[in-house]
Structures are given as structure tokens and as C-alpha cells.
Structure 1
Amino acid sequence: MRKRQKAVAGAVLAGILTVMAGCGSGGGNANQGNDGTAGPQASPSETSVQSNEKVHLRFTYWGSTYEKEVISKAIDKFENDTGISVEGIIIPSEYETKLTTMIASNDAPDVGYLGPPTAYKWYEDGKLANIKELFQSDTETVESDFVDGVIARKGDGIVGLMNNLESFALFYNKDAFAEAGVEAPPTKPENAWTWDQFIEVAKKLTIDNKGRNALDPAFDAKNIRQYGFNMDLWSGPLEALLLRNGTQYFPDMGDTTGIGTPAFNQVFQNVADLINVHHVMPSPTTAKSMPAPAVALQSKRYAMVLDGQWVCNDFAKSKGLNYGIGIIPKMTSTTAVYSGALGVVFSGSKHPKEAWMLLKYITNPEISPELFRDGLWMPNRKAYYTDESKIAAWASPSAARVEGYKDVLVDPIVGDSQVTSEVYVKNFGDINNLLFPALDQAWTGKKTVDQVMAETMPKIKPLLQGTVK
């Protein structure tokens, strides 16, 4: 739930104010033109409309301390450039629970982040506005400009717009690889390791307390000081692996589920085997005692982690961490997954046009460069994956964008990727609430994934109602 020169930003803002003039004091639109370029400069008479009425927006979001700092700066810019007042409300934990309380108390915000499953439900309940008219009446916003799948629809309406993209990659400690004499992970999809090759490398990088790796017959699996690999066991990274095996919860946004199929079960069994058969990944219980990914990599508790690209922000700030990036191993496919929270406008807002403008403003790499350049977010527009000058503005080599980043995380978005199931599968959260607790038996080695799924599918089946339409 993660750059440009002042002259460029100024031109974009002028375009915003021009649209505001066309809408009158109650409206406004932001962001780039249809080709990704900045809008025309506004004259003083055009920008004077902002003084007619003082508009105040309340904006809720989640994130780290760093994200709060950067979002606050973006809000300050927005206020200075538009005259619109914004109260930023960060909710770092229990976000949807606290937001529910706010709504129940008639204290709903104007605009904010929301996870897709909740967004669809709240849209159906009338808590969210249909932003279709705002989207389509905005002459500087064209649907084809956006990466496929980032516009969340329900029937003929638009529920929200994905604020940013996130994808997954293999991150590794270069020093650990050098010490083990192992070649670095490939960065180009066509060179991706097979799953068996990945296991072999992970074994070489899994070291017990006496310095023996997991290929050594004397290796002590009960006393491991460095694991070759780790990943968090939730739907995001696991779906990245599902696509590597040619499946999803509902492949290709269709109405035939992949859940419980051999390809689906194989992915989960492969992960369970990393823990219980190959001993290259800690059990969930052991992983709880491990530090955060940046610290775990730096201290060589892990040699590799599969994680979301937002961790680049933490890695970049971790002094002494010599890390690299690689492509996720393949099974039958190299298709990437991307996800992202939705930006939504709440139905009770008295200023929906200004709320829409704020959403676009904050998620524009021209306006909020730090959010993209420093590792938290990836853009939601195609031009930032195809236009080299735009790519350079947010993905140029840096501590947050190490060598290989473009090959691993930028090029696949428009080349070979699918949006996460979370964005379009009905009952996604309810399905996971049954699926993942049951899979604990596989992670601990008590049952195979096939056994777990055979027991769990009768409970899950009523929830398999296809995709949101």
C-alpha cells in the first residue's frame, strides 16, 4: 500500500488552473495532456477564480513516516498552487476499520486511498462517488493513457483510479552471492532462472552455523544462520508466482477460476517445499523473529527476498546494504503482476471536482517526484514505461533504482504483465480469509497443498463468483 524540473511542474500546474477556470470556482482538473505533455500556461485572470470560494478537502491515506513526509510536501504544493485547503489524515494501521468509524459518524473524508475489494463494496453501498463523469469530462485525461487495469469499473461506473503501480522482484545481497561464488540473478525475463535453478542457487546460499550450505550432506537444517531466500506469505507475492505458472485466481479476468487447479496448487506446494523440503526459507514462525527485509538482507539473515518494489525506498536508505535486483524465477511463464491501491472520492464530498484534482495531482510524477524516484511508487500511465525521457525521470540509476531495475520492473509492465486479482475478483478478501489460514498446514508441513485445498474448496466454492463487471 509507493523529478521533474520546476519549469515542467509549473507548466503542468498552469494546465490545472486553466481547466479550473473553465469549470468555475467549484471545479478543477489536473495532470498532463493526452500525450503526457504539460498543459498551456494560464493567465492571471484564469487563475483568479480560486479566490472566489475557499474549498477545504480532507484526504485519508496510509503509509510509512517517509510517505507521510512526501505526501505532506505534495499537499503543501497543491495548496500553494490552487488555493485549495487540504487536511491530510494519515492512518498507518487498521485503516479501513477507522475509516468505517469515520463514515458511521458522518465524518467521512472527501478523498483517499482504498483497497479494491472494499472500494467495490462501498461503491455498491453508496459510500463512494461514481467518478466516471469527472474522468470523462476532464479534457486532459484520456483512458488510453493509463496502463490497462488501473481504472476500476463497476457496471457503467468508475469506482476509482489506481494511484500508482507496484510490482514484485527478487532482491539480493551482492556480498552474500560473492562469498558463495554464485552468479547474480538475471534481470531480463528471457534469462530468468527455472524453478529448479532457483532452488539450486538458494541451497548454495543457505548456510548453517558451521558454514555448510544446504547442498552439503552434513548441513544442519535446525541451525541456519543465513537463509537463501524468504518471502511474505500473502496474496501479493504469491500471485506473482502464480502468474509465473500461467494462472491466477481468475486467469485473464475470466469467470473460470484457477483456484484449486493443478497449476495453482503447484505454486503453493513449491513454496511450502522451500520451507520443509529444501530448507532454504524460514518457517512462518521463524520468520516472525527476523528483522525487516532491508535489515535482514544487510545482516545476511537472508541472501534473497521476493518483495514489492516499494522496499527500494527502505533499501536505498540502508547504509552498508550492497543489494541488487533480479527477475523472479519462472515455472511456465515470465508474466509479471502489478497492483496498487485505488484513489476514490467519497459520495458525501461537497467538492468532488477538487477531490479528483487532488488525486491526480499527488499521483503525477511531474508534481510529486519523490514518491516515484525514491522508490515507493511506480506511475500509472503508459508513457512512463515507453518514453525514455519519462522513464529517466523516475527510474534513472540511483540507490533506489539499482542496475537492472528497468529490465526487471519497468519494461514488463507494458510488455508482459497482468493486473492483480485483487482489482477484479469478486469476494477476493473473503476467499483469502479462508484460503490462507488453511494453508498454514502446508507451510508447517503437516499436510500437502492438495490435501489442504481438497478440504477447503467446499468452503471457498460459494465465493467463486467470477470477476467484477
Structure 2
Amino acid sequence: MSVTKGRSRCRYSRRIAGSVSLRLANSRDFPLALSWANQFAYIQHGCVLSIKEEAPMKGTNFSRREFLRSSGLLVSGLALSACVVATPAPSDAESMAGDAAPSVMTFAWWGSPHEKDTVVNMLDAFTEATGIPNEKHHVPYGDYMNNMQARAAANTLPDVFYLPTPFLVAWAQKAVIKDLTDRHASDPEAAIEQIVEVNRFTIGNRVFGTGACTEPYMMFFNRKIFDDRGVDYPPATVEEAWTWDDFIAVAKQVTIDENGNSALDAGFDAENIQTYGVDLPRWGGSWRVYSPGLWQQGSEVYSEDENTFFPDQDIAADVLQKTADTYVQHKVTASPEFLGQVGMSSIQLMENDRLAMFLTGNWSLEALSHTDIDYGEAVVPIMGPHYTVWAPSEAIGVSEQTTDIDSAWALYKWVVFGEGSLALSRTGLWQPQREDLLLTEEGRAKWMTEGVHTQDHITAGCIPAVYNSRRMPLRLGHSEVEGRLLGPALGPVYTGETTAQEALDSVLPEIDGFLAENPNWKPS
């Protein structure tokens, strides 16, 4: 399956106040915990309209301040902003709602303008197929959780919505989202066992939603740069994954200064680099920076009792230092200052032959497919003997406030199990989470798209999603650990001002104290 080229489209430049990584290929690249826990400024193109006033729905009642505090975010003077588009039911619809007029289902999500259009089309198809009308709430990414938290406190939540993983436990604890365990168990079309394990959002064996999609961490590379330097392409199978040392060595081969010298040459000028070898997450305390390296070395983010952060501190320090040293020591990644000055995403840098490789999630295929880049897909390098990657996905939740659970369940199923998931996967933005759609040729034929997915996507994207992926910990207070405590401590590590070990020595006692005061929650 070859990659055909399309015309380049405008990309979006995001600047994140207080963050080390200032350029992002897609809105999904943004570190969720850091953005909302610290209310970072985030530039996002998209429509912004006032959400219309709605009557409060039945549901859990608690004060706005109590709710926002429980979720780790206090917001003042918040404007509820979103793009709201209604899709009426067909006049002759005979749907799941029977003879009674179906309720209007509201769906909320974030995303780039292209993702917005794709989701709108998916929701229109839902109404056409079921006769259930819907109202669409597209909220700019930087405003999303502010918007949703205020709506939850006002009992005006959408029926079905994206929910960032850092907020799942708090929302389940407060009964803001429905426990869907019995629904999944009684509906053969939505059996939770169909979903890859990493996307089963369970707390204490109770299901509070599923992922929207499964998007394992991958590596994308510019074939032209590798060809020009006579360097072999990165491996596309788990069995052949580079060790971290091999990865750094290759990154040096494709890091080129203005005189054509590589980072391995004696005359290499690190102050005037024309092409960087790699871009990878360096987002403060974001779990996606450190968790894969921990798992690959057999360690964990939390101790078994969930009260100790980084129980193997030496391993954690090693992972963080190796990440920082891609810039501090090896100069194969760009400095934060450079990235801030050029204002380009990873894809824009690659499009201009300024970047050879970048590590991110499957979602970047959507943007890559609209460029002239001759791109390839590969597995990521590993820091230990176990090939394990994170597979980020926002949760899809159903509001406890919904007044029509049957229609809400129909919409939820459409997005998670049905045509909705396939439609977004065909664009490269999503990847299905049903195992049969990932592991069988018949299943992949329903969504893999020529010109978007390369043939290597099967081994670099599909198989790791099922067998080699994990997600961030479902731990109450985790977003505050990352955003308020760990992130600020790690900033100087990524610029070489201090070491990872020194930073952890300083901040881990404070983190463990916070965890002791804020135990995790499990349903009774």
C-alpha cells in the first residue's frame, strides 16, 4: 500500500505558556493534565459561539465550587463557549425511540477544524441511520474542560462527550458520568471484551466508559532525508525496535548542520543546525514523557498501594535524563528557544526538511496525509527489554444527567463500536479499538486508507495497540501531581540547568505527601 501525496494544507501553531514543548502537530498532542490543571494559554483555531441557555437536568447536585475543587481546577469568570449545531430528526424516522418523538442528543468534543468537520459528518450519519436528532457542541481545545466543568456544576452536561482521562476518576466518584457496566454486559453489540484492554475505562471492575479510539505511540519519519544520507529506515516491527542507544546513534546521523555535517562528524556545528534528527515529547511532567520508559524497564508510575510516585526513583531519573539528553547532551532535538522562534509544528518542520523523525500518536496521520512528505511509519525506540508504549485516548462518557438513556446509549455505541469510529479512522485521526478491526485483514479493510496509512501501519500501529499498549494511571489527583508539582520541577532538567535525579530528590517527597492526603477512589 503506497502513500499518495496531496496538497499541503495550513497547519496550526500552538504556543503553550510555561511549557517546554511549544509546537504540536495536532490538538491531541497537547499534554492534557498540564493544559487544564494549570490553565495554560492555548491557541486553537475554530468557531466560538455562546452555548444557549438550557434548563437544568436531573442529576447529581453539588455546588460549583465543590465540584471544581474535586476535579482539581477552580475557574472564575468562565464563559461557556462552543460551536453548537443542531441536526433535526428525519420527519419519517422510525428509530429506536419507537413511536414517541426521540430526544435530542447532545455530543461534545474538541479538536482541530478538520476533526470538527469529520465528527459533524459522523453525527449527521447517526441521525440519518437512527432517526435520533442531535445537537453538536464543538469546544475549542483550550476551553474544553473549563466549559465541561461549569456545565457539570450547572447540571447542563451533554448526553455523550469526550472526557480527558485525568478527570475520569473524579467524575466517576461524583456520579457525573454513568456506570455503564450493566449496559455493556447486556448488549452483545457492545460487549466490553471486543475493545482492546487499554481502552476499557474500568475502576474497581466497573466500566465508566471506553476510549474513543486506540492510538499507540509511533514514530514517523521523512524517507527523503534518510535516503539522502544513505541511512536505513527505522524498523516497523516490535521485534526489531531500536534500543535507545541505537536510536540516538541514528538520530545523530540525520542531524545535519548548515555545512552538511552530521552530529557524528568532528566539524559538526551544534549552533547552526539545519535538520534535526528527532522531535519527541518534552512536556513538563506529562505522563507520556516518562511512563513508556518506566514500563519498558519493568517499573511503574505508582507503587502497588498508589501512595508512592516513582517507586523506582533511579529508573525514573534514568528515563527523564535520557529524554532530556536528546537536547542537552546529544543535540539531536531542537532547543525550546528555537521551537518558540520558528513557531512550527513537527509536521511543518518535516515538510521543510528540517526534521527527520518525530514520536507521537497515530492521529498525526490525518495531518501528514495532507502534505507532500514521503513519510514512513515505524515503532518507537525502547529504553528496556519490554516493548510497551502508551496509547492515549480520551474517554467517551455518558452523562448521569441524560433524560433518555436509550438514545444516549445508541449514540455512545455509534461513536465507539459503529460507523462513527470507522469514519474517523479512515482519515487517520483515529484508529479503531475493536480487536477484530485491528488484527484481521477483513477488519482492517473497513478503515485502512490508501494515501493515509502505509502498509507498515499494521505492525507499527495495529499490533502494538492490542498487545503492547498501556494508558495513563487512573489515579485521583494525578493531573495535579503532573501539573502543579512534577512539571515545574522538571522544566530545568529539559534545558540542562539541573539533573533529573536532583529534580526528583527535591519534588518526590512533596508528591508523596500530596498522595497521602488524597487517596485514590474505587467504587464500593
TM-score range, shorter chain: 0.7 to 0.9
Match status 1:119 vs 2:168: yes
How far residue 315 of structure 1 moved from its aligned partner, in angstroms, is 0.2
**Identity, % of aligned pairs?**
28
Structure 2: how far apart are the matches of 1:139 and 1:412?
A: 26
Residue of structure 2 equivalent to 1:80: 128
Q: Structure 1 48/322 Cα, relative in aligned 2: closer, same or farther at 3 Å?
A: closer
Of 314, 323, 330, 1:278 maps to 330
For 1:126-145, list aligned pairs within 5 A: 126-145=175-194
How far residue 291 of structure 1 moved from its aligned partner, in angstroms, is 1.0
Q: 5+ residue gaps in structure 1?
A: 3-43
Of 392, 417, 431, 1:364 maps to 417
Structure 2: how far apart are the matches of 1:252 and 1:411?
A: 28
Contact 2:102–2:132 (CA<8 Å) still a contact in 1? Answer: yes
Structure 2: how far apart are the matches of 1:92 and 1:367?
A: 21
How far residue 192 of structure 1 moved from its aligned partner, in angstroms, is 1.3
The residue identity in structure 1 corresponding to 2:498 is: K
Contact 2:349–2:355 (CA<8 Å) still a contact in 1? Answer: yes
Q: 5+ residue gaps in structure 2?
A: 1-27, 30-91
How far residue 275 of structure 1 moved from its aligned partner, in angstroms, is 0.5
Residue of structure 2 equivalent to 1:346: 399
Of 190, 215, 218, 1:169 maps to 218
TM-score (norm 1): 0.84
Structure 1: how far apart are the matches of 2:455 and 2:307?
A: 39
Match status 1:412 vs 2:443: no
Q: Helix, strand or coil: the match of 1:344?
A: strand
Contact 2:388–2:470 (CA<8 Å) still a contact in 1? Answer: no
How far residue 367 of structure 1 moved from its aligned partner, in angstroms, is 4.6
How far residue 450 of structure 1 moved from its aligned partner, in angstroms, is 0.3
Q: Helix, strand or coil: the match of 1:393?
A: coil
Q: Deviations over 1:315-373 (max 9, x none)?
A: 0011x211111111122121232221111111111012211210210233545533012
Q: Structure 1 259/98 Cα, relative in aligned 2: closer, same or farther at 3 Å?
A: farther
Q: 4+ runs of 1 displaced by more than 6 Å?
A: 251-256
How far residue 103 of structure 1 moved from its aligned partner, in angstroms, is 2.6
Structure 2: how far apart are the matches of 1:386 and 1:252?
A: 32
Structure 1: how far apart are the matches of 2:260 and 2:295?
A: 35
Q: Deviations over 1:425-447 (max 9, x none)?
A: 33221111111221111111011
Contact 1:170–1:328 (CA<8 Å) still a contact in 2? Answer: yes
Of 50, 57, 62, 2:110 maps to 62
Contact 1:206–1:214 (CA<8 Å) still a contact in 2? Answer: yes
Contact 2:241–2:382 (CA<8 Å) still a contact in 1? Answer: yes
Contact 1:245–1:267 (CA<8 Å) still a contact in 2? Answer: no
Q: Deviations over 1:45-91 (max 9, x none)?
A: 98585342231111111111111111111111111122211001001
Residue of structure 1 equivalent to 2:361: 308
Contact 2:109–2:139 (CA<8 Å) still a contact in 1? Answer: yes
Structure 2: how far apart are the matches of 1:364 and 1:45?
A: 22
Residue of structure 1 equivalent to 2:100: 52
The residue identity in structure 2 corresponding to 1:429 is: S
Q: Structure 1 184/467 Cα, relative in aligned 2: closer, same or farther at 3 Å?
A: farther
- Which segment is superposed worse, 406-415 or 306-315? 406-415
Residue of structure 2 equivalent to 1:456: 507
Match status 1:430 vs 2:480: yes
Of 407, 427, 432, 1:374 maps to 427
Q: CA RMSD in A?
A: 2.4
- Which segment is superposed worse, 121-130 or 300-309? 121-130
TM-score (norm 2): 0.76
Contact 2:350–2:373 (CA<8 Å) still a contact in 1? Answer: yes
Q: Structure 1 269/399 Cα, relative in aligned 2: closer, same or farther at 3 Å?
A: same
Residue of structure 1 equivalent to 2:85: none
Structure 2: how far apart are the matches of 1:294 and 1:399?
A: 16
Structure 1: how far apart are the matches of 2:335 and 2:345?
A: 15
Contact 1:260–1:453 (CA<8 Å) still a contact in 2? Answer: no
Structure 1: how far apart are the matches of 2:232 and 2:263?
A: 17
Q: Helix, strand or coil: the match of 2:459?
A: helix
Structure 2: how far apart are the matches of 1:395 and 1:445?
A: 42
Structure 2: how far apart are the matches of 1:153 and 1:69?
A: 30
Q: Structure 1 221/274 Cα, relative in aligned 2: closer, same or farther at 3 Å?
A: same
The residue identity in structure 2 corresponding to 1:308 is: G
Q: Deviations over 1:80-126 (max 9, x none)?
A: 12221100100122211011222333322111010122121122123
Residue of structure 2 equivalent to 1:295: 348
The residue identity in structure 2 corresponding to 1:454 is: D
Structure 2: how far apart are the matches of 1:256 and 1:452?
A: 16
Residue of structure 1 equivalent to 2:246: 197
Q: Structure 1 139/171 Cα, relative in aligned 2: closer, same or farther at 3 Å?
A: closer
Contact 2:162–2:395 (CA<8 Å) still a contact in 1? Answer: yes
How far residue 283 of structure 1 moved from its aligned partner, in angstroms, is 2.0
Contact 2:210–2:416 (CA<8 Å) still a contact in 1? Answer: no
How far residue 241 of structure 1 moved from its aligned partner, in angstroms, is 3.6
Contact 2:107–2:160 (CA<8 Å) still a contact in 1? Answer: yes
The residue identity in structure 1 corresponding to 2:169 is: Y
The residue identity in structure 1 corresponding to 2:215 is: E
Structure 1: how far apart are the matches of 2:126 and 2:303?
A: 40
Q: Helix, strand or coil: the match of 2:358?
A: strand
Structure 2: how far apart are the matches of 1:48 and 1:128?
A: 23
Contact 1:134–1:353 (CA<8 Å) still a contact in 2? Answer: no
The residue identity in structure 2 corresponding to 1:148 is: E
Q: Structure 1 171/252 Cα, relative in aligned 2: closer, same or farther at 3 Å?
A: farther
Match status 1:383 vs 2:432: no
Structure 2: how far apart are the matches of 1:48 and 1:453?
A: 55
The residue identity in structure 2 corresponding to 1:315 is: L
The residue identity in structure 1 corresponding to 2:166 is: P
- Which segment is superposed worse, 99-108 or 439-448? 99-108
Contact 2:390–2:472 (CA<8 Å) still a contact in 1? Answer: no
Q: Structure 1 255/385 Cα, relative in aligned 2: closer, same or farther at 3 Å?
A: farther
Q: Deviations over 1:102-156 (max 9, x none)?
A: 2333322111010122121122123222222322232422232221132223346
Structure that is richer in helix per residue: 1
